Structure 1
């Protein structure tokens, strides 16, 4: 993909889903794509848990979505946060 500024970048679209089955479209650009591709290619069957901070909400064609912003957004993939451990425990019970 080529940005408005004429720079080449990669992008990936994901659909994030919570325990209540709510989904939101998430578009990730740049270096974060490589990190996600690497984790998605793993052999285990554990769900990939993504914690996204400081993503920008947008609406396009009446669909709400979020996307990362350069230098600000952070993505944590399968982090060891207490909240993630509690989320995993709820997933196991489902």
Structure 2
């Protein structure tokens, strides 16, 4: 395990080899704890932030999609109001406030 920790661009590559040193066990413990705290935990935190950011973007897109389906894009009136009038929401968005008419 110790050789695998030192072989991947971590701090073990930059510090000279402790072979034969009386403090070798402390160096091994330092390298392994550095690997776990810096490499594993920080990468997990960064990945969590990225996943959270994409989740937030997905929620925003769902909110925009829901608004497009339930509100008139031009006047902003919700479909609840148009359920009470004779022609309804679909007629309003397809005839009165058709997006193609505003291009």
Q: TM-score, normalised by structure 1?
A: 0.22
Q: Which has the larger radius of gyration?
A: 2
Give TM-score scaled by structure 2 length.
Answer: 0.21
The higher-RCO structure (CA 8 Å, 6+ apart) is 1
